[in-house]
Amino acid sequence: MRPRSEMTTPAIPEDDSPADPTAAVADAPRGNWVDTWAPVSWRPYLRLARADRPIGTWLLLFPCWWSLSLASVADGRPYASPWSMLLFAIGAFVMRGAGCAYNDYVDRDYDARVARTRSRPIPSGQVTPNAALAFVAALGLVGLLVLLQFNQFTIWLAIGSLGIVLLYPFMKRFTNWPQLVLGLAFNWGALVGWASVMRELHLPAYLLYAGSVAWTIGYDTIYAHQDKEDDLMLGLKSTALRFGESTHAWVAAFYLVAMLSWSLAAFLAGAHLITFVALALVGLQLAWQVATLDIDNAENCLRRFRSNRDAGLVLTGGLVLDMAISWASGLS
């Protein structure tokens, strides 16, 4: 996650000195656990996986947990499988790391041309491009081992997302809608979580997925406004540039689609009052983002982007309580 910086882009210095593995990435939060506590030799790879910035892991994980929980509600279970919850958490961490490392490999030449991204592990020389690809493969192997714990339908469904994942880093070169492609890839867990319980897909899963894609387009448009000057300089595209001064209306529209889709998914799955109370709170949080958004203030954009973790936790909590209360009261 990277706040907007000054637009001066100095030339890359000719420096053959060894890269310093203790050197923090310029756009990482100060005092993060990777730069403070992790073994020095691990730090470049943890930075490459964005372990110093967990918001992406949360945003990847929530659709998995939501669909797992909503399917458990529909199936009348008192709680979602703790083992599956843990597997999805591990999978989200390693696959988000693999995706970030792959993205940095693809974007290494662009990152080397911008002052605030030159300190990232690949352009700074902390990790070589070949080592980055090996790291992606290693994380992918861990992700595969996690995936193999699920049923066969779920395994093949998850593998079906790989094409979108591999294409995403290239989209900002060709389309104004890379956030749509990100949403399609990032929220695949909304289908996988449901399949892990039901062993097939039903309409609530598709609605949850569609709503989550709309949610991602909204929050990643907010995030992309931090980078719009750099994107213009490098000839890259985004919904932030496409929407421009109309961003508030577009983000509000996508958040509305998300709320309507999620609500209909919950209704069709047989969710109870507590889930809809949680959804109402999420709606208020999303409305706050739009109402207070300043697209020309990088810190404002970053805070509203990160606040989606809170929205995700609220909906997760509502679904967990729904299962527990419904089972205890005999409604499920």
**Span 261-320, pLDDT tens digits:** 999 999 999 999 999 999 999 999 999 999 999 999 999 999 999 999 999 999 999 999
**How much is the pLDDT for 140?**
97
Confidence of residue 76 (pLDDT cuts 50, 70, 90): confident
d(CA 189, CA 197): 12
**How much is the pLDDT for 211?**
98
In this predicted structure, the answer to whether residue 331 has a pLDDT above a threshold of 80 is no
Per residue in 102-112, pLDDT tens?
Answer: 999 999 988 88
Mean pLDDT of 84-95: 97
Q: What percent of the chain has pLDDT over 70?
A: 92
**How much is the pLDDT for 20?**
67
Are the C-beta atoms of 51 and 34 separated by less than 8 Å?
A: yes
| HSE-CB for 292 with a 13 A CA cutoff | 14
Eight-class DSSP state of 250: H
Per residue in 25-46, pLDDT tens?
Answer: 766 777 888 988 999 999 999 9
CATH class of 34-328: mainly alpha
Model confidence pTM above 0.85: yes
d(CA 183, CA 187): 6
- The number of residues making up the chain comes to 332
Long-range CB pairs of 130-137 (<8 Å, 24+ gap) are: 132/48, 132/101, 132/104, 132/105, 133/105, 135/45, 135/48, 135/49, 135/98, 135/101, 136/98, 136/101, 136/102, 136/105
Choice among 8-12, 47-51, 266-270 with the minimum mean pLDDT: 8-12
Mean pLDDT of 222-232: 90
Q: Which amino acid is at 127?
A: V
Encode burial over 15-32: b for 16+ CB neighbours within 10 A, e otherwise: eeeebebebbbbbbbeeb
Copy the structure tokens of residue 11: 């030339």
Copy the structure tokens of residue 270: 């047989």
Q: Which of 186, 189, 187 minimizes the C-alpha distance to 157?
A: 189
Copy the structure tokens of residue 65: 């947990």
Q: Which helix H or strand E contains 74, and what residues bound it?
A: helix 55-74
* Residue given tokens 């209306």 in the structure block: 249
Break the chain into its structural domains and give their ranges. 34-328
**How much is the pLDDT for 30?**
79
Instruction: Provide the sign of the torsion angle of the four alpha carbons 179, 182, 184, 188, taken in this order.
Output: negative
Sequential DSSP letters for 255-278: HHHHHHHHHHHHHHTT--HHHHHH
Per the model's pLDDT, the better-predicted residue between 196 and 109 turns out to be 196
Per residue in 231-243, pLDDT tens?
Answer: 888 899 999 999 9
Compute φ and ψ for 260, nearest 5 degrees.
-65, -40
Per residue in 243-267, pLDDT tens?
Answer: 999 999 999 999 999 999 999 999 9
**How much is the pLDDT for 227?**
85
Average pLDDT, the chain: 90
Are the C-beta atoms of 46 and 28 separated by less than 8 Å?
A: no
Choice among 6-10, 193-197, 206-210, 280-284 with the minimum mean pLDDT: 6-10
d(CA 3, CA 227): 8
| HSE-CB for 203 with a 13 A CA cutoff | 9
d(CA 229, CA 239): 13
